[in-house]
A and B are shown apart, each in its own frame.
Chain A
Amino acid sequence: MKDLAGTVEFNRQLAPRYYHIRLRLSEQVDVLPGQFAMLRPAALAEPILRRALAIHRAEDASVEFIYLVLGQGLEALSRIREGERVDVLCPLGNTYPTESVIDEGRRAVIVAGGVGSPALFMLASELVGRGADVRVYFGGRTKHDLPALDEFEALGCPVTVTTDDGSAGERGFVTVPLERDLALAGREASVVYACGPWPMMARVSEIAAGHAAKCYVSLEARMACGFGICVACVVEVCEGSFAPPFKYQKVCTEGPVFPAEAIVW
């Protein structure tokens, strides 16, 4: 974890309310798939808090993020231009366990929902690069809610798209083709990695359990600091999944990646 200065290389709109930003950092950092950063335009008076964003790509001293503007903080980020500065605390959080895929040869099934996809891109890219059997299920409300779909497709692994309104891919929820896939693959054949809206992840968790597939989810939570001091970003976990005493675990430092069965859905 380092508090670095980032200089905007580009900050472009991908679709209505979706943006893609690339920052050159004052220092190189080693980023693991699933890690995140806390960002704020430098010298911004308000809102005061940084915003947590999953790291979409990282190489040398550059990091990229894809974000959906939902409130004031990311709205402010969307307005900054090439050459301007952003405060970047990173890398933060844990990573996805991949032993079952890399060492035991299980299939990796990646389930992305809307703007959850950037939290999975580095994972998909790394697993494909290591020759793993990877497939991606990518769901969005409309064809505009599939950020970085082209980048997933460029990895060369099978990508199945669904939209709620049928404007791209199969009409319906991403969990429908996921269930078909896991049923065909057989029990214990797959490891599922998911990031998306809470109801999607809850259903993915249930489907994965039904097919005895390990499942990891990357969570999002309201977060003030990103490194464990505010204790705001907690999620309720099942008894026995973490060492006592806490039933609430911090998404920033204990996560953002959790075994799906540890979460009280």
Chain B
Amino acid sequence: MVTPRENGRDPRLAVEVAGIRFHNPVLTASGCCGYGLEFEPLFDLSRIGGICTKGLSAKPMQGNPPARIQETPAGMLNAIGLQNIGARAFIEQKLPRLREYDVRVLTNVFGYTIDDYVEAIHILNDGDGIDGYELNISCPNVKEGGLIIGNDPRAAAEVTEAVKRVAKRPVIVKLSPNISDVAGMARAIESAGADALSLINTLVGVSIDIRTRRPRIANVTGGLSGPAIRPVAVRMVMQAAAAVQIPLIGIGGIATAEDAVEFLIAGAAAVQIGTASFYDPLATVKAVEGLSAYLDETGTESIRTLTGSLDLSPPPRGH
């Protein structure tokens, strides 16, 4: 079977999430694609569905001292510390060039207080060509004694509401996996007005050098990402999908089209590829191609029909 194409694209892959139309469901994940332009020498950015930028704050951030990463089994820990050029510099230095591509741009935004988020959103509202905002709520809330915003449904809802009041574009809230009640958190954020959820962010971990007895990264704790966390992410997508009506973007150890399909079946409408881009810089474009092949092989009409198609019957005997 020949894959149908329109303008070099497979129309069966088009999805709409939070009112944003993506020509395919494969996005880069925040913190794993810089500002998108880093991929320019490697592939045409218009080939992927979207770019979710590195986390932006109202003002530039220096990030953490090195060492910032440590490879771990099937994954890695990172504590980059959200080093970024700031929302204003992004609009001036990066966005004009990103706009030259036919790719949706989500800006990831973080803060340590509600005011931080609101200030960054105010700046980004001026950015012509931004399609939506993704909120990183896995930061400590400095006004609440360092409590992680995304671990507290009330705090997460407050940030979401405050951002929704000022945001001129759809707001996607990125869930922390370091919570026990996924459904409760997802509902709290949905009730606060979020247009979509993306999940998951990294899991908090530590790695110790047994010779020096010191932590392997300077920040002591880091965020675990990569294939190691994929089953956790699929489980959380499945649980969130059962709890809310708003669309989900699946994230967590996705490296291939097959991995992406698993998230779609669990309930995601689109996916983000993160850590895999580090070791396979073409992972996103390969996944787009692979999704077309999957539709061909399985005789599936469109990628949209996969979303939430999970059959919870037990695996067949002999498997």
Q: Kindly list chain B residues whose C-beta atoms are within 8 Å of the C-beta of A48.
A: 71, 74-76, 226-227, 275, 279
Per the bound structure, the CA–CA distance linking A87 and B83 in Å amounts to 29
Q: Which residue of A lies closest to B216 (CB)?
A: A222
Q: Does A157 contact B (CB under 8 A)?
A: no
Q: Does B63 contact A (CB under 8 A)?
A: yes
Q: Kindly list chain A residues whose C-beta atoms are within 8 Å of the C-beta of B226.
A: 48
Chain A contact residues (Cβ within 8 angstroms of B): what range?
20 to 34
Q: Does B69 contact A (CB under 8 A)?
A: yes
Chain B, residues 9-43, CB within 8 Å of chain A (1/0): the string is 00000000000000000000001111000110110
Q: A40-B279, A231-B54 are in contact. List 16 more A-B contacts (CB 8 A).
A: A2-B42, A46-B73, A46-B74, A48-B275, A49-B278, A73-B71, A87-B280, A221-B66, A222-B67, A225-B279, A227-B281, A229-B32, A229-B38, A230-B69, A232-B80, A233-B66
Q: Does A235 contact B (CB under 8 A)?
A: yes
From residue B303, how far is it (CB to closest CB) to chain A in Å? 26
List the 4 closest pairs (A to B, CB-CB), nearest first: A245-B60, A232-B69, A224-B278, A225-B278
Kindly name the residue among A73, A232, A236 whose own CB sees the greatest number of chain B CB atoms within 10 A: A232
Chain B interface (Cβ < 8 Å from any Cβ of A)? 31-34, 38-39, 41-42, 54, 60, 62-63, 65-71, 73-76, 78, 80, 83, 85-86, 226-227, 275, 277-282
Q: Which residue of B lies closest to A234 (CB)?
A: B66
Per the bound structure, the CA–CA distance linking A229 and B75 in Å amounts to 16
Contact call A232/B279, Cβ cutoff below 8 A: no
From residue B23, how far is it (CB to closest CB) to chain A in Å? 22
Q: Does A228 contact B (CB under 8 A)?
A: yes
Q: Which of A10-49 contact B (CB under 8 A)?
A: 40, 46-49
Q: Does A247 contact B (CB under 8 A)?
A: yes
Q: Which of A224-255 contact B (CB under 8 A)?
A: 224-225, 227-236, 245-248
From residue B69, how far is it (CB to closest CB) to chain A in Å? 4
With contact pairs A49-B76, A246-B62 given, residues A3 and B281 touching in the complex (Cβ less than 8 Å): yes
Per the bound structure, the CA–CA distance linking A36 and B151 in Å amounts to 41
